[in-house]
Amino acid sequence: MSPIIRVSHLSKHFKDTRAVDDLSFTVNEGDVYGFLGQNGAGKSTTIRMLLSLVAPSGGEIVIFEKKLSTHRSEILRRVGAVIEKPDLYKYLSAYDNLSIFARMSGMKVTRQLLMKQLQMVGLGERAGSKVRTYSQGMKQRLGIAVALVHNPALIILDEPTNGLDPQGIADMRNLILKLSNELGKTVLISSHLLSEIEMIANRMIIIHKGKKMVEGRVVDLLDPAHSLIQIETHDNDAAKEKLQQTKWVSFLQDGKQISLMMNKDEVPQLINDLVAMNVELMSVNSSHSLENYFLSLTTLPGDVEPFAN
C-alpha cells in the first residue's frame, strides 16, 4: 500500500497556543483512517492544514507523493472534503450547489451525473429545493455529495456525524464503508468518539493537545490482549492481597480498585482462581484499555503520557 498522506513533524502555533505540535502520521491507499481526539485536540487544525486552509508553522505535508506547498491545485483536484458543518449556499438548490462545486473542481458537469450523485445520497427528489429548507442530516448528505462529485481518490471528513440523529449516523457510517469497500476510496475521518472510529476505521491515530498519543491498526489497538478488567469484591483489600500471591500479580494495576490489564480470554480462569481463593465477587467488568486511555484524555486534568502499546 503506497502512502496517500504523509505528514512529517507538522506544527501550527496561534500566537502562544500550540494547536498542533510535531505531528507525524501516514495514511495509506485504501485506508479508512480514524483521526481521534477530544474537542480542541488539534484535529480540525490538522485537517485545515491538509486542505491548505491554514498554513503550517512547521513540518511537511505530502499527499499523492507531492508536496502540498508546491502542488496545491494538483493535489486538491483529487481530494474531496467535508469540513465541520457542511455549509453550502442556502439560497441555491441542492442541484445548483452541486453543479457549482463540481465545476470549481474542474469537472464538466451533466444533469445526469449530478442527479445520479444526488440520488446516491438520497436527495434526488429534493434536488430543486433550496438548501435553506433542508434538515441537518440532508445538508450533511449534500455535503458528502459535494465532496464526492468530482470522484476524488482521497476523502477527508471532519466530524461528519456532528449534529446527526442515530439514523443519520448509521447512514453516514454505511456510506463511508461503501466508499472504502466498494469504491476503493481512501478516507480520513476525524471524530471525538472512539466507538465511531472503531466501527469504520482500519487504522487510527489519537492526538491530544496537538501531539500524537498513539497510531496504528485498529485491530491491534483494540486487541483483547489490552483489556482492562475491573473487579469488585466484598473486601477489595483482602482480595488484592490474595491476588498478589498468584500469577495474576503481573497484570495488577495500581490504585484502590482491583484492575488488571490482561487478555480478555483469560477472564474465566481469573474468576475461577478468585472463587477458589474464597473471594466473594460482586462484579467483573471488562473494557478496552484504549477506550479507558482515551477516556482519560477527556476526563483527567493535565498532560497524559503517550500510550505504550
Partner 1 sequence: MLNLLQIELFKISRRPRTYIAFAAITAIVFIFQFAFKADGESYMNLLLQSVNDTFEFEKVRAINGYFMCYIILNTLLIQVPILVALIAADSISGEANMGTLRLLISKPFSRTQLILVKFAAATIFTLLLLLWMAITSLLFSLLIFGADDMLIFRSKGDESQILLITKDDVVWRYLAAFAYATVALTVIAALSLLLSIFAENSIGPIIATVCIVIVCTIISNLDVPIIDKNVKPFLFTSYLVGWKGFFYIATTSEGIPIKGSIENWPAIRKSLLILLLHIGILVAAAVIIFKRKDILS
Cα–Cα distance for residue pair 258/282, rounded to 1 Å? 12
103 lines the binding site for partner 1 (CB under 8 A): yes
Q: Which is nearer to partner 1, 146 or 207 (CB)?
A: 146
From 35-43, 76-84, 162-170, 298-306, span contacting partner 1 (CB under 8 A): 76-84
Residue 169 CB, nearest approach to partner 1 (Å) = 21
| Beta strand spans in the chain (E) | 3-14, 17-28, 32-36, 58-63, 66-67, 79-82, 154-158, 186-191, 203-208, 211-217, 227-233, 258-262, 281-288
Give Cα separations from 79 to 23, 147, 188, 243 (angstroms): 21, 8, 11, 55
90 lines the binding site for partner 1 (CB under 8 A): yes
CA dihedral 181, 153, 116, 130 (to 10 degrees): 120
From 29-37, 80-88, 189-197, 216-224, span contacting partner 1 (CB under 8 A): 80-88
Q: Which is nearer to partner 1, 133 or 286 (CB)?
A: 133
87 lines the binding site for partner 1 (CB under 8 A): yes
85 lines the binding site for partner 1 (CB under 8 A): yes
Number of chain positions touching partner 1 (CB under 8 A):
32
- The SS3 of residue 253 is coil
Contact predicate 79/187, CB 8 Å: no
133 lines the binding site for partner 1 (CB under 8 A): no
Residue 163 CB, nearest approach to partner 1 (Å) = 13
Q: Which is nearer to partner 1, 73 or 299 (CB)?
A: 73
x/- mask, partner 1, residues 41-60, rule CB under 8 A, reads -------x--xxxxx-----
Closest CA to 11 of 54, 53, 57, 44: 57
Give Cα separations from 58 to 54, 63, 206 (angstroms): 12, 16, 20
105 lines the binding site for partner 1 (CB under 8 A): yes
88 lines the binding site for partner 1 (CB under 8 A): yes
Q: Which is nearer to partner 1, 82 or 243 (CB)?
A: 82
Cell of 133: 429548507
By CB under 8 A, name the binding residues for partner 1: 14, 48, 51-55, 72-77, 79, 81, 83-85, 87-92, 96, 100-101, 103-106, 146
